[in-house]
Structure 1
Amino acid sequence: MHKGKLIELRPVTREDMERMYIWRNDHEAATWAAGSSLATYSNISLESLNAMYDENVRTAKLSDKFNRFIFSIYTLEGVHIGNCDYRDVNPITRAATIGIGILDKEYWSKGYGTDTLQVLLRFLFLTLNLNRVQLDTWSGNARAIRAYEKCGFVVEGRLRQNEYVDGQYYDTVMMGLLREDFSVTK
């Protein structure tokens, strides 16, 4: 397990799917997590999440872990508060895309997202030896953008009005971080 000051990253379990079901069907939590992908992220049954777990997590080959892996985010006190992942690992450029969602509302704006990012980035840069990590979010998600910037991510581009959230257009904000710009002491 990978530990930070506030959280630890654990492999996803079937029990985590029950909380994911609640969060993915909570409009506010799902909107912040999914942005314009809300329609496909939300309104999902527990059976569908369990099937997704069986197909993508439980039966995944060890070699799949190097291209994509999903973690559950737990507080150090053992409370499941969200999930994060890395995917699309390019072995030539040593780059990957990440995603993070602190979905338990009690833990919003308290540093859990930043700590999760720091733990995930340490793993990706120092264990998997990646050189670049990238992500994207919608421009209305200021809390997430602040957390990304605290960890050293810089805006590398924008896709204007590429997101549609709650009846309004937003930009897709693309951000990246190079290993040389990541401070291990974080």
Structure 2
Amino acid sequence: MAVCLAGQKVVLRDITEGDIPRLYYHCYESPDREHLNWNGPYQPQEPATYEQFLEQHKAALETAKADKARSQLIIEIDGEVKGKVGRYWVSEATNWFEIGIVIFDSSYWSGGYGTEAFRMWMDYLFAHLDTVRLGIGTWSGNERMMRLAARCGMVEEARVRKARIVRGEYYDAIKMGILREEWEGMKENFG
């Protein structure tokens, strides 16, 4: 069953093979790749051919055809691919995921698009997975991500001092999270 969640500003939906050229453009060809300076810049992006990039997305394309919880969804704004949300395991034993978001087109930053998409993603994951918590991992220089996580109810749970190097400077590694019961208690306040 296809996933397509419509908010007021964004649509979260399954990735399709037709999205791959646009995702590749945003990651490797667009003149606006400011997102690379914020989204895990301590792990430089490895070059990839289009064919390699397509292969990296095969699992997400296959999951979109199955009836199971998604590991990533496309963020569509005004009918165009503008970003994606994702999740990855921290501990399968405790059903602990970290989640993330990237909006590739920086002209859509600070307009509420990311907040809406991230809240929709969190709600989807709590509804479709047997997890007691969701979290993020970022770096202390990414204040925009920390503010987004806080707006969505996450609290800082750990700070590892001087654990990340970005553009030659040390930054703290930040962990933020929210428990299912905290999400349930606050989600009706979003609007």
Name the TM-score, length of structure 2 as normaliser. Answer: 0.83
Q: Relative to total residues, which structure has the larger helix share, 1 or 2?
A: 1
Query: Which shows bigger deviation, 85-94 or 41-50?
Result: 85-94
CA shift digits 1:134-159 (9 cap, x unpaired):
11111111111111100110000012
- 1:129 Cα offset (Å): 4.3
What is the match of residue 7 of structure 1?
A: 10
Is the Cα–Cα contact under 8 Å of residues 24 and 43 in structure 1 kept in the other structure?
no
Q: What corresponds to 2:36 in structure 1?
A: 30
- Structure 1: which 5+ runs fail to align? none
**What is the rounded CA distance, in whole Å, between the counterparts of 2:12 and 2:107 in structure 1?**
18
Q: In the alignment, residue 70 of structure 1 is paired with which amino acid?
A: Q
* Structure 1 position 31, deviation (Å): 1.9
State the shift of 1:127 in Å: 3.2
> What is the alpha-carbon distance in structure 1 between the residues aligned to residue 140 and residue 90 of structure 2?
25
C-alpha distance in structure 1 between counterparts of 2:55 and 2:129, whole Å: 29
Does residue 44 of structure 2 align to residue 43 of structure 1?
A: no
Judge conservation of contact 2:84–2:102 (CA < 8 Å) in 1. yes
Q: Give the share of equivalent positions with the same residue, in percent.
A: 32
Equivalent of 2:73 in 71, 74, 97:
71
| SS of residue paired to 2:157 | strand
Structure 1 window deviating more from structure 2 (142-151 vs 44-53): it is: 44-53
Length, aligned pairs only? 180
User: Residue 175 of structure 1 aligns with which residue?
Assistant: 176
Q: Distance in 2 between matches of 1:33 and 1:18?
A: 20
Which stretches in structure 2 are left out of the alignment for 5+ residues?
none
Q: 1:173 to 1:90 in 2, by over 3 A?
A: closer
Q: What amino acid maps onto 2:61 in structure 1?
A: R
* Greater alpha carbon shift after TM alignment, 176-185 vs 42-51: 42-51
Match of 2:17, as an amino acid?
R
Q: Aligned letter for 1:16?
A: D
Q: Quick one: structure 1 residues 169 and 22, their matched pair in 2 at CA, closer, same or farther if it must change by over 3 Å?
A: farther
Q: 1:59 to 1:121 in 2, by over 3 A?
A: closer
CA RMSD of aligned residues (A): 2.2
Question: In the TM superposition, what is the alpha-carbon distance from 1:33 to its structure 2 partner?
Answer: 1.7
Q: 1:91 to 1:46 in 2, by over 3 A?
A: closer
